Structure 1
Amino acid sequence: MQFKEIIGQEATKQRLITAVKENRVSHAQLFLGPEGSGSLALAIAFAQYLSCEDKQPQDSCGVCSSCRKYQKLMHPDLHFSYPFFAKHKDDTALTFIEQWREAITANPYLSLDTWRGYLDAENKQANINIAECHQIIKKLSFKPFESAYKILILWLPEYLDKVGNSLLKVIEEPQHNTLFLLVAQNQDQILNTILSRTQLIKVPALGYDDVKQFLISQHNQTETAAAEIAYLSNGNITEALSMLQSDTKGYHQSFVNWLRLCFANKGLDVLSFVDQAAKMGRENQKNFLRYGISFIRECCLISAGAENIVHLPAQELETARKMAKVMNIAQAETIINELEKAHYHIERNANPKILFLDVSLQIIKVLNLKIVPSGNHYIPN
């Protein structure tokens, strides 16, 4: 993978390239970024750039022997470690390497849920076991075979658990020209003993414009469709690609109509909406609720005088301005909390009809009856 294939993240790319040019490459680096930000893709592109036989000013050449092997994820000095669902105690990442290559080739913005789909996970918990730690130590005990560097990319070190302490010595005192590139999403879940031995590279969530342009140029989306998906995905390319498979049209009108029905306390019409929402399908229900959360937050930004950072098409922006006039911040926060809880329960297969009815009643309490739970962080206007 080359840097030019990665969406956005120009500052991070430049930082990595500069480190190579100035010979300041740390032997253990932690790429820390939220899901869908491209942390894993950046680590692979960085490894390819380090091993490239004909480095260009801003990228690997893409055509040398090393780059061609990297494109297939089959370079002898490139190793991967990642969470998996072990069937036997001696299973390691190598057991699933073919599935891994297939998954990364299909989508370098991989999520654990997507990875799970490539494996026969059953009800097992993902982890990186002690057998894999021993395999890592064994693989990295030798000198590089072809390249100047032997590189291990360890995806989601959060799943190492205490067995990760067995890697401390090889991380702190690796063989000459051996690099550890850890790719993580949650810093708090990484063993402190490992965290303290790495150089941190923060990878921010992708910008709205980056996601929107990617959807237009690479997936032939219209300006309107790309804008809505970019808005909903909140900088997460994994979510954006998932939404391409769903019907994301009509969320705005449906959500605003729902709020209006609740504001007017139109019981029969609310029940009719609940019936429709229950038939939307799980992914569309999740996206619908995610849209609602984002839309209400934009209303809060308008109320707070920060309309300049609101990402809404003109028609939706006008609706948000009207909503901001009749809904104070305390009410908005309460509705957001209800929508977030609903999203959580939909992911866990809650009965959608009961769930949407309950949320509707809560929104009626907030908008029509003006009831906001005590202990709210904000004081109503």
Structure 2
Amino acid sequence: MFDKIQGQSHALQILKSAIDNNRVAQAYLFHGPEGVGKFTTALYFGMALNCLAESEIRPCGVCSACQKLLNMDHPDFIHLFPTPNFKMSPEGEIKDSANLQAYLGYIQNKIDSPWKQYRFNRAVELRLDNIRMLISSLNLSISELSMRICIIEDVDMMNIATANAFLKTLEEPPPRTIMLLTSCRLPKIIPTIISRCQTIYFKPLSRTIIQQILQKKHGFDLLSSRTAARIANGNFKAAFRIAEDSTLALRELAFEMFALAKEANELKYLQLLERIREDINAESTRLIFDYLGFIANDMIMLNSNPDAVTNIDKVDLLKQIQPARMYLEDDVYAYLMHLEDFKNKIEGNVNLRLLLLNNFYALEELLTG
């Protein structure tokens, strides 16, 4: 089943070599961008360590051990991930029915469609409750597997108290237990956790790989797949969202913002913000800024490298909004710096409408200044 993981040959080679040479570390940290296969690789690695198939191709995906791990219902499998405060007991019990439904919904999404983003309705983190549950589970005897598998997603989302509580377990896990940690933000992890793991980097996926998966596995058409692959910046989860109609609507919105700034029509821009007021949140605003950045970059590519244009289906519109002046590259660069500043401010819970309004003034300066 490792052949289903594309674009990560280096990481897979390290893991296969560890299995072949019986030199599996007690803890691994898979780090790299979002949407590149870290969790799936961790799960398949755990399956390979416990596969019951007699053939050399492991994991087989069909034996009882593989099937239970694929369905995440094996008693020797522990899975931690950031959640809202569900008041989980050390035994993993969640009493509130709505919280339990949300918790199980996340797991089911991982089983059915891990390429889709699952959002809780409140802020999430890895909590002390999660670590207490982990410790309680590790105190139980291993029932079936050769190696107990513990996957901890987004380990960078531990606060200091949680990280310190986790350290002793990471330093001295019980026998026949493998810790598999994932992270998109390595610098956010405390150094003592990193130093106790074998780190493996997962690189962004190539446009070609993303396009092929979108077309062959998910049935998107050529244009949607190519556009999404170019915009997603190596992140398959983002590419899938972009290929879906709901996210493409945000791209149309970004082009509309460009057109209104080109006309210096602040009133209509304010009306646009009012129209989308109910749909604006941190994620959609970040995506809008991403789209705006790709559009700005495309204005440069139109003249210097047309084959590198991201919005390949919008070339005529790009020509209409492109300013006709020298030194456009410098102005686009300045605008992209504004966008980065806007995106950084999203993390600080600022007024999103104000950020989008400030974007109008930055766009107006780029297009008419």
Q: 2:107: which partner in 1?
A: 101
Q: In the alignment, residue 45 of structure 1 is paired with which amino acid?
A: Y
Q: Partner of 2:246: helix, strand, or coil?
A: coil
Q: Report if aligned partners of 2:270, 2:357 keep a CA contact under 8 Å in 1.
A: yes
Q: 2:334: which partner in 1?
A: 334
Q: Partner of 1:73: helix, strand, or coil?
A: coil
Q: Report if aligned partners of 2:126, 2:157 keep a CA contact under 8 Å in 1.
A: yes
Residue 279 of structure 1, aligned match among 275, 278, 298: 275
Alignment of 1:198-277 (within 5 A): 198-243=197-242, 244-246=244-246, 248=248, 251=251, 259=258, 262=261, 266-268=263-265, 271-272=267-268, 275-276=271-272
Would the alpha carbon gap of residues 222 and 338 (structure 1) be closer, same or farther in structure 2, given more than 3 Å must change?
A: same
Partners in 2 of 1:174 and 1:17 — Cα distance? 22
Q: 2:120: which partner in 1?
A: 116
Q: Partner of 1:116: helix, strand, or coil?
A: coil
Would the alpha carbon gap of residues 317 and 34 (structure 1) be closer, same or farther in structure 2, given more than 3 Å must change?
A: farther
CA shift, 1:67, in A, is: 1.1
Cα deviations across residues 85-117 of structure 1 (Å, max 9, x unaligned)?
A: 224374675535634431311332465xx2415
Alignment of 1:269-348 (within 5 A): 271-272=267-268, 275-276=271-272, 279=275, 281-282=279-280, 287-298=287-298, 311=310, 313=312, 316=315, 326-340=326-340
Cα deviations across residues 348-367 of structure 1 (Å, max 9, x unaligned)?
A: 69575x76554333333344
Alignment of 1:76-87 (within 5 A): 76-87=75-86
Alignment of 1:363-374 (within 5 A): 363-369=363-369
Partners in 1 of 2:231 and 2:44 — Cα distance? 27
Q: In the alignment, residue 70 of structure 1 is paired with which amino acid?
A: L
Cα deviations across residues 324-351 of structure 1 (Å, max 9, x unaligned)?
A: 9744333112222334455677896957
Partners in 1 of 2:238 and 2:327 — Cα distance? 29
Would the alpha carbon gap of residues 54 and 221 (structure 1) be closer, same or farther in structure 2, given more than 3 Å must change?
A: same
* Structure 2 unpaired stretches of 5+: 95-99
CA shift, 1:133, in A, is: 2.1
Q: 2:132: which partner in 1?
A: 134
Alignment of 1:1-12 (within 5 A): 2-12=1-11
Q: In the alignment, residue 107 of structure 1 is paired with which amino acid?
A: S
Q: 1:54: which partner in 2?
A: 53
Q: Report if aligned partners of 1:82, 1:128 keep a CA contact under 8 Å in 2.
A: no
Would the alpha carbon gap of residues 250 and 25 (structure 1) be closer, same or farther in structure 2, given more than 3 Å must change?
A: closer
Q: In the alignment, residue 116 of structure 1 is paired with which amino acid?
A: F
Cα deviations across residues 180-199 of structure 1 (Å, max 9, x unaligned)?
A: 11111111221222111000
Q: Report if aligned partners of 2:31, 2:202 keep a CA contact under 8 Å in 1.
A: yes
Partners in 2 of 1:98 and 1:256 — Cα distance? 38
Q: 1:185: which partner in 2?
A: 184
Would the alpha carbon gap of residues 315 and 350 (structure 1) be closer, same or farther in structure 2, given more than 3 Å must change?
A: same
Q: 2:156: which partner in 1?
A: 158
Deviates more, 1:158-167 or 1:195-204: 158-167
Would the alpha carbon gap of residues 345 and 200 (structure 1) be closer, same or farther in structure 2, given more than 3 Å must change?
A: closer
Would the alpha carbon gap of residues 273 and 125 (structure 1) be closer, same or farther in structure 2, given more than 3 Å must change?
A: closer
* Structure 1 unpaired stretches of 5+: 370-381
Q: In the alignment, residue 54 of structure 1 is paired with which amino acid?
A: A
CA shift, 1:203, in A, is: 1.0
CA shift, 1:52, in A, is: 0.6
CA shift, 1:319, in A, is: 5.2
Q: Report if aligned partners of 1:31, 1:202 keep a CA contact under 8 Å in 2.
A: yes
Would the alpha carbon gap of residues 8 and 318 (structure 1) be closer, same or farther in structure 2, given more than 3 Å must change?
A: farther
Q: Report if aligned partners of 2:264, 2:364 keep a CA contact under 8 Å in 1.
A: no
Partners in 1 of 2:334 and 2:162 — Cα distance? 42
Q: Report if aligned partners of 2:82, 2:126 keep a CA contact under 8 Å in 1.
A: yes
Partners in 2 of 1:20 and 1:33 — Cα distance? 22
Partners in 2 of 1:368 and 1:59 — Cα distance? 60
Percent of pairs with identical residues:
22
Partners in 1 of 2:293 and 2:218 — Cα distance? 26
Partners in 2 of 1:89 and 1:76 — Cα distance? 18
Q: Partner of 2:87: helix, strand, or coil?
A: coil
State the TM-score, normalizing by the size of structure 2.
Answer: 0.79
Q: In the alignment, residue 106 of structure 1 is paired with which amino acid?
A: D
Q: Partner of 2:180: helix, strand, or coil?
A: strand
Partners in 1 of 2:156 and 2:358 — Cα distance? 36
Q: 1:379: which partner in 2?
A: none
Partners in 1 of 2:110 and 2:172 — Cα distance? 29
Would the alpha carbon gap of residues 367 and 45 (structure 1) be closer, same or farther in structure 2, given more than 3 Å must change?
A: same
Q: Report if aligned partners of 1:29, 1:181 keep a CA contact under 8 Å in 2.
A: yes
Q: In the alignment, residue 188 of structure 1 is paired with which amino acid?
A: P
Would the alpha carbon gap of residues 318 and 326 (structure 1) be closer, same or farther in structure 2, given more than 3 Å must change?
A: farther
